[in-house]
Amino acid sequence: MNILFWNINKKDLLVEIDLLAKSKDADIIVLAECEISYYDLLQYLNRDESIYFSSAGIGCERIKVLTKFKHTFSLPISEHNRWSIREIQTPLHQSFLLGLVHFPSKVNWTSQSQAIECGELVRQIQSLEENREHKRTILLGDFNMNPFEDGMISSGYFHATMDLEIAKSKKRVVQGREYDYFYNPMWGFYGDLGKGQVSGTHYYNSSEHLNYKWNIYDQVLVRPELLDEFVLDELEIITESKESVYLTNKKQLNKKFSDHLPIKLTLNLNLK
């Protein structure tokens, strides 16, 4: 199963979404900051043949979801203005929880407020995992935080580690309390020796003394229980489609498109 995420920055990128969806054989398309209606998305993506269905939520208007399967297989089970948690139950495959995120940026929120919001979402995820009696969970989206920030790595928040072997230990104990891990493979894209062609999904150049330039705001977090089905080599930050290049020659983002690069992940789901 291929899952595509893109914050399209409120732009009319209908053609690009279609090209990406087809070239990456996306089974689930997740769009943030998308002002294109479901009707227009479906009309264009299905103009030659019926491929995609809408999977609209009821409490999260910031994220749009399209799937190759009917909405009954991707029902929202918990939603908030900034996130949506779906239970993906396709025929023949084991179900899993897919949390979709679009957190506020630091233009409006402090790092501390972002971290607290991470804690709110984690508690909701833990409640759903307890109810479903499994921890087959993935989080995906625009976190507006880098992987090294407190909300991403602290034990009381997402507790997302960069190390696969550490993640496989599933949890650690702090002050007598157990905290479950997420695995965050997006760390692997940092730097010239990192995976892929770029060191981030968002480029911002300021005159401040502290200036990362490349940020990895768009991320995927995986619970250890799904690591055997998560195809690490297929994870990518997409820099071009069949007909378009999303970067300039300086490896800065092409302003014709979004201020974020899309990401794609692949799951090799086990049969029931």
The CATH number covering residue 65 comes to: 3.60.10.10
Q: Considering the domain boundaries, does residue 150 fall inside one?
A: yes
Q: Considering the domain boundaries, does residue 250 fall inside one?
A: yes
Q: Considering the domain boundaries, does residue 117 fall inside one?
A: yes
Residue among 151, 159, 155, 148 nearest 224 (CA): 159
Q: Considering the domain boundaries, does residue 123 fall inside one?
A: yes
Q: Considering the domain boundaries, does residue 272 fall inside one?
A: no
Q: Considering the domain boundaries, does residue 252 fall inside one?
A: yes
Number of structural domains, the chain?
A: 1
CB 102, CB 140: distance < 8 Å: no
pLDDT digits (tens, 9 = 90+) for 181-231: 999 999 999 999 999 889 999 998 888 898 989 999 999 999 999 999 999
pLDDT digits (tens, 9 = 90+) for 8-26: 999 999 999 999 999 999 9
For 133, the domain range is 2-266
Q: Considering the domain boundaries, does residue 74 fall inside one?
A: yes
Q: What confidence tier does 29 reach under pLDDT thresholds 50, 70, 90?
A: very high
Q: What is the pLDDT of residue 91?
A: 87
pLDDT at 59 over 90: no
Q: What is the pLDDT of residue 251?
A: 81
pLDDT digits (tens, 9 = 90+) for 102-154: 999 999 999 999 999 999 999 999 999 999 999 999 999 999 999 999 999 99
CB 19, CB 243: distance < 8 Å: yes
Work out the percent of the chain whose per-residue pLDDT is above 90: 86
CB 163, CB 123: distance < 8 Å: no
DSSP 253: B
Q: How far apart are CA 78 and CA 1, in angstroms?
A: 22
Q: Considering the domain boundaries, does residue 271 fall inside one?
A: no
